[in-house]
Amino acid sequence: MKTIAIIKYVFITIGALMLAGAFYFYQNRQAFLKKAETVQGTVVELVSKRSDNSTTYAPMVSFTTKSGSKIEFTSSISSNPPSYSEGESVEVLYDPADPKDASINGFASLWIGPLIFGILGTVFFLIGFGIILFGILRQRKTQYLRDNGKRIETKFVQVHLNYGMAVNGRNPFQISSQWLNPQTNEMYVFESDSIWFDPTEFIKDDIIKVMIDPSNPKKYYMDISFLPNLKN
């Protein structure tokens, strides 16, 4: 289905952009640390930040530069409970050329941005890559079974909806069939790939052809080439 094809590339694109953002923020922080001066500062106030259902607190820090200028800044990182208390002494890093570009010398203040972007970017990228890899491996398995599998005739059982999968609120159809292995007297149930239209009217007889791995019939491919192609 075209929607799934779009989704995998959306995930990879978002992931790649977020990873690029993480790298940019990391490089930016590294450049800042190379030129930053270090002084002691004091938390003079806890600034409340309200969102929908919560309130967090960011420390406002006052410090004096080595040239004697007094600077105040509010950390971009807030939390509840607050990570700092009023009157607490903290180590401050600042850019000598632009003292207002300052940060508390702590892991969260310096690295939480690149870390969040990196984690989310990795998750999005791996999901998109995983969808693509799954499709490639599935195609290889199908081609292998077409070329090397044993063709068997199975008995049509039913057409049903696959409620384990949904795209845009829709569930795909699947064809079910069964086959009794005459050598082992074991019954096998087979499911087709996802079908995005009701195939019932196109099933003309009770025989559904399936390609199986002779050494493991649980590895199979149901031949549904008799169905019309879906025009997206």
DSSP letters spanning 164-229: T--BTTB--EEEEEEEEETTTTEEEEEEPPPBSS--GGG--SSEEEEEEETTEEEEEEE--TTSPP
Please check whether residue 126 lies inside any domain of the structure. no
Same domain, yes or no, for 77 and 164? no
Q: What is the pLDDT of residues 145-204, one digit of tens each?
A: 999 999 999 999 999 999 998 888 899 999 999 999 999 999 999 999 999 999 999 999
Please check whether residue 228 lies inside any domain of the structure. no
Q: What is the pLDDT of residues 101-136, one digit of tens each?
A: 999 999 999 999 999 999 999 999 999 999 999 989
Q: What is the pLDDT of residues 78-100, one digit of tens each?
A: 999 999 999 999 999 999 999 99
Q: What is the pLDDT of residue 57?
A: 96
**Overall number of domains in the chain:** 2
Q: Which domain holds residue 74?
A: 1-119
CATH number of the domain where residue 210 is located: 2.40.50
Same domain, yes or no, for 1 and 86? yes
Count of residues making up the chain: 232
Distance CA 104, CA 75 (A): 7
